Amino acid sequence: MSEWITGGCQCGAVRYRASALTDNAHICHCRMCQKAVGNFFAALVGAPKEAVEWTRGRPSVFLSSGHVERGFCSACGTPLFYNDVEGPRITLTIGSLDHPERLKPKSQDGIEGRMPWFSELPAVPDQGETEAGDSAAWAAAIRASNRQHPDHDTAVWPLDAARRE
């Protein structure tokens, strides 16, 4: 990939860019990944360590074992990476990328932790889009006070700080 790949946390305190990703987009169902991302599985993609640059702030880390650290934003808690501290690559959370839709998983790891009903998820009843129906007013209130960093780099963040200048 020639273009820069960018991402960051929900609050925008931590932003990164990568000049390359490895061809290993995957989901991991293992219990340690479930805890690290607070979800049924982690969606991950690797990058050579030298290809990743922290462009705003720095992630905090938790050593989940003697060999792996889990990176996250200490201000908002967004999980950002899995890092084998001795290995050549860092593994980014696909959900923290600005364009997660570009990274279709190619494999599933840690299947001992896979939810027994995982294959049934596409059949779970669909309640429509965020701004549809009864939730439209609520969605509008959220949008009007949204503090989530947009899915692209910004010169100044948060916007309140920009307005004060």
Give the binding site for Zn ion (CB under 5 A): 9, 11, 13, 28, 30, 33, 73, 75-76, 110
Token output for 155: 């010169």
CB of 43 to Zn ion, least distance (A): 11
CB of 10 to Zn ion, least distance (A): 6
Cis peptide bond prior to 158, omega within 30° of 0: yes
Residue with Cβ nearer Zn ion (1 or 142): 142
Residue with Cβ nearer Zn ion (73 or 92): 73
Residue with Cβ nearer Zn ion (24 or 135): 24
In angstroms, rounded to a whole number, what is the distance separating the alpha carbons of residues 84 and 68?
A: 5
CB of 112 to Zn ion, least distance (A): 10
Q: Residue-wise over 30-58: b if at least 16 C-beta within 10 A, else e?
A: bebbbebbeeebbbbbbbeeebbeeebbe
